[in-house]
Each structure stands twice: as C-alpha cells, then as structure tokens.
Amino acid sequence: MKEKGEIYNFCAGPAVLPAEVMEKVKEELRSYGGCGMSVMEISHRSAAFKEILCEAKSRLKELMSIPDDYSILFLQGGASLQFPMVPMNFGKGAYCITGRWAKKAFEAAELQGRGEAFSGSADRNFEYIPKIDPADLPKDAKFLHICDNNTLYGTKFFAPPEMGLPLVSDMSSCILSAPCEVEKYSLIYAGAQKNIGPAGLCVVIIKNSFLESAEDEGLPLMLRYRTYAEHDSLYNTPPTFAVYVANLVFAWLEKKGGLKVMEEINREKAKLLYDCIGNSALYLNKVSPRDRSIMNVPFRLRRRDLEPVFLAEAEKAGLMNLKGHWSIGGIRASIYNAMPIEGVKKLVNFMQQFEGENL
C-alpha cells in the first residue's frame, strides 16, 4: 500500500485538497473545536456552524476582493444546476461556446428557449479563446455567458469580455487560482470540487443589482437566487461539511499569501509543464499560448499508441489520474492550487524520462 506523500493526484475533479487542510479535517473530525461532536453532526442553525459560514464568506470576500454590493451564496447541485438556473432567473443569454461545459450551459438555456450560441471556438477544436464581436450578440440577450476556464481543452479567458451586457461566468476550474476582477462580472459560479473543497457545494457570487433584476416569481423557491440571498444560504440545510472544508481552504489560501501569490505559483507550475511540452518531440499541446490555462494542461503524445503506456507508467511512479476526459482522451494534468510544485516537477521529470526511453 502506498503512503500519502509518495503520490501526486492530478485529477480534474473531485481534485486534490491541501494536505494541511486535510490534516486539520482529520484532527477535528470527531470533535469540532472540542465540542465533542463532528461538524457533520451539528445543526446548520447552530452558532458554531453560523460562524463557519460567516467566516467562509468573509474570507472569500477578502481573498477575491469581492465588492460590497455583491452577495456570496452557497448552493447545491454543482455547476450543472447553475446551467438551467441562470436562464430561469435572468432570461435569455448569449453563450460563447468554448468547450464541453460552455455547451452544456448553453443547452440548458436552449431547452428553455432562452439561449443563443455565438462565436465559439469549435471551428478549431476549442484550442483557443475566441474574440467576441459585439455585433454577434443577440439584441435581446439579458446576459453573456462564458466558461472562464475550459477544463477539458485547457483554455482560459484571461480578460473578461466587456460587451456592455451582464457577464455570467462558470469559474469552476479556475476560481481562486489568481486575482479576479469580480466587478466586471454580474454572476460567478463554481462547483467546489476543484479549487474550493469537496463535491456537493457550489459557490455563487452575484452582484446585488443583477440579483434584484431576476424575474423569478413563478420559480420554485429552491431555484431562485433570491431565496439563498434572503436566507443567507440557510433556507434549507446546506452541505455543512463541504462549507466547513471550503472555509479551511480559504484560510489556507490566506496563509499562503492570497491570490497574487497563488497566481505566481500556479504560473510557475504551468510554465514548467508547457515548457516541457514545447521542448519535446513527443508531447503536443495545440492551444494558443496566450489562452493556455494555468489549471488544466491537456496534451497528447504524437505516438498515440504510447498514451496508455504513459498513463500506466505514470501511475506506477505515483503520478495519478492523468487520463484526459473520457470524451476526448489524451493526457491531462490538472494542477489546481493544492497541487504542490514538487508534484509538477516530478511529472516533468517523468515526462522527460519517458520521452528519452520511448522516442
């Protein structure tokens, strides 16, 4: 049996969590703050949990410099439930199709007759981030939807498109990876299971004026953003344990020095990998360099027959979960905040060695 520490987990999500956070979770698993009960066993309306919720919100606000006129909400259902909720609450959206998840979001809107797709990057297999031409935007769109970081294809919007329309973004796989100009967005949502905490929690950051514009009268209460805002995410029982872990992750990020520091580390990690790929005759990443994600680095082997060998040997070396998304195959290294630079260095060494031995 392998012991933790020998392995590095490159899973795209649910993904590796910071070792210090996991140690803390383990330490107080049976008795939160010495209360004799696990955080899983206390009421969401208890003073102890309300403090966790409050801390999580204020830490996230501080970390991301979220302006005062925004609300932070904790929901369930992942980004996948956000896909229909956004158009249900805000009407027709213009969807920029830059990959699988952007398309899923669009399809959920389309099913409601509330989505129009435009100027995506499907023409070049999602290997770049398109320039958005304001003339392409449907006149009656109430918002522009983007998927900030495309987990499968390894692309990223490094500047939020400013089109004079409220901007809605799926940041599941890049939230907290770098400073973010929150004020340029009207709604940000992110499934927790990549850079925040365990699966089952979805964080929503929403501009209050946008929230107030929601036409949600006939909607089920559980599908209105307003319900979560009015009840401080306690209308019903939230996923309390996931919120608790998220709060610890936020505290860890604070301790690391915040998002500017994280961005530097993440850029360094990504550069190691992209340089390795760029200098190689075996590995291939076709994403436009300026659009390359610093969270997900997908690549192919020029000799595709070697990909299963690569994956099997990587695993033997303790480099886990490098398989690309099942829908497109290949290799993908997800290097979220919790992936230490040592893991990336070990991967790069392995890649170079593998290339030497196989090419």
- Please give the positions annotated as active site: 101, 170, 194
CA 89 to chain CA mean position, Å: 22
Which window, 74-82, 159-167, 255-263, 340-348, contacts its own copies (CB under 8 A)?
74-82
Q: Which is nearer to its own copies, 57 or 323 (CB)?
A: 323
Contacts with its own copies in 110-129 (CB under 8 A)? 111-112
Sole binder of its own copies in the list 191, 298, 330, 343 (CB under 8 A): 191
User: Distance from first CA to last CA of the chain, Å, rounded?
Assistant: 32
Which window, 181-189, 230-238, 269-277, 345-353, contacts its own copies (CB under 8 A)?
230-238
Smallest gap, in angstroms, from Cβ of residue 243 to its own copies?
9
b or e along 11-46 (b: 16 or more beta carbons within 10 Å of the residue's beta carbon)? bbbebbbbeebeeebeeeeeebeeeeeebeebebee
Instruction: Please answer whether residues 273 and 331 qualify as being in contact, where contact means their C-beta atoms are separated by less than 8 angstroms.
Output: no
* Residue 193 binds to its own copies (criterion: CB under 8 A): yes
Sole binder of its own copies in the list 35, 54, 122, 312 (CB under 8 A): 35
Strand 155-156 and strand 70-75: the pairing is unpaired
* Residue 329 binds to its own copies (criterion: CB under 8 A): no
Sole binder of its own copies in the list 65, 125, 236, 353 (CB under 8 A): 236
Strand 187-191 and strand 149-150: the pairing is unpaired
Sole binder of its own copies in the list 98, 173, 233, 240 (CB under 8 A): 240
Retrieve residue 68's tokens.
Answer: 């005062």
* Residue 78 binds to its own copies (criterion: CB under 8 A): yes
For residue 214, the SS3 value is coil
* Residue 320 binds to its own copies (criterion: CB under 8 A): yes
Q: Which is nearer to its own copies, 47 or 159 (CB)?
A: 47
* Residue 1 binds to its own copies (criterion: CB under 8 A): yes
Which window, 2-10, 90-98, 156-164, 304-312, contacts its own copies (CB under 8 A)?
2-10
CB-CB neighbours of 356 under 10 Å: 9
Q: In whole angstroms, give the CA distance from residue 295 to residue 189.
A: 17
Count of residues that bind its own copies according to CB under 8 A: 71
Residues comprising the chain, all counted: 359
- CA count, 13 A, side-chain hemisphere, 140: 7
Sole binder of its own copies in the list 177, 293, 321, 337 (CB under 8 A): 321
* Residue 234 binds to its own copies (criterion: CB under 8 A): no
- CA count, 13 A, side-chain hemisphere, 251: 16
Instruction: Please answer whether residues 188 and 204 qualify as being in contact, where contact means their C-beta atoms are separated by less than 8 angstroms.
Output: yes
Contacts with its own copies in 195-224 (CB under 8 A)? 197-201, 218, 220-223
